[in-house]
């Protein structure tokens, strides 16, 4: 019997198989303005609303997540390299959010976010944040629960991280719970001119130029 103990394992067996990136002409980038109460996935066994109820393009997936109770920009693609770039905090892709909080934070309150706050899963990186006028956005269904005796404030907040429910946890940490959260942009891409519940398909040339 031949001695097979010293036969080397091939590289193909030792190394994980790498995903093949689509050819440029086949790469797809879709910008979706996600409504409230929609899951950031294409299937759900419980019958809840998913991306499939709004986007009918096959073989694309979300580059990063957006919570069910959050709204705004979600980037969908079939390009694994782009997905990794947008989801990886080391790539420092800025995500800008419009955040409606309960109460009236001062600049001193916001400085805590600018300096980073300590959450249960560790400190956050410094955020860029400012008070803004109420943006011209669609009505949410259902509307937020707002108490007549307590004012609300809109913030523009930019981070490069993407932890689970991070923005909500950050504002709650400084004493101003988030009532409504809309992601306005990811990198150079925004929800400008995309109605809530609708999507835009980027040309291959434009998506590669921007990223």
Catalytic residue set: 67
β-bridge mates for residue 199, sequence order: 32
Query: Whole-angstrom Cα distance, residue 204 to residue 211?
Result: 11
Q: Is the peptide bond before 150 cis (omega within 30 degrees of 0)?
A: no
Query: Whole-angstrom Cα distance, residue 173 to residue 70?
Result: 18
Residue of 24, 39, 34, 22 whose CA lies nearest to 78? 22
For the chain, give the longest Cα–Cα distance. 87
**H or E, element range at 208:** helix 204-210
The SS3 call for residue 122 is strand
- Other CB atoms within a 10 A radius of the CB of residue 102 amount to 20
Query: Whole-angstrom Cα distance, residue 96 to residue 84?
Result: 18
């Amino acid at each position: 019997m031949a001695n097979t103990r010293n036969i080397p394992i091939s590289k193909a067996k030792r190394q994980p198989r790498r995903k093949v990136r689509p050819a440029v002409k086949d790469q797809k980038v879709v910008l979706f303005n996600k409504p409230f109460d929609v899951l950031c996935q294409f299937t759900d066994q419980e019958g809840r609303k998913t991306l499939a109820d709004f986007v009918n393009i096959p073989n694309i997936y979300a580059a990063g997540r957006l919570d069910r109770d959050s709204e705004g920009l979600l980037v969908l693609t079939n390009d694994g390299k782009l997905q990794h770039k947008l989801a990886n905090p080391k790539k420092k892709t800025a995500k800008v959010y419009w955040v409606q909080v309960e109460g009236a934070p001062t600049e001193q309150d916001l400085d805590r976010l600018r300096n980073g706050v300590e959450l249960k899963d560790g400190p956050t990186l410094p955020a860029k944040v400012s008070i803004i006028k109420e943006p011209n956005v669609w009505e949410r269904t259902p509307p937020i629960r707002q108490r007549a005796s307590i004012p609300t404030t809109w913030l523009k907040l930019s981070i490069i991280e993407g932890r689970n429910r991070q923005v909500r946890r950050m504002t709650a940490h400084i004493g101003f719970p988030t009532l409504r959260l809309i992601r306005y942009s990811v990198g150079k891409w925004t929800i400008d001119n995309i109605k809530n519940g609708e999507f835009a398909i980027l040309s291959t040339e434009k998506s590669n130029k921007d990223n």
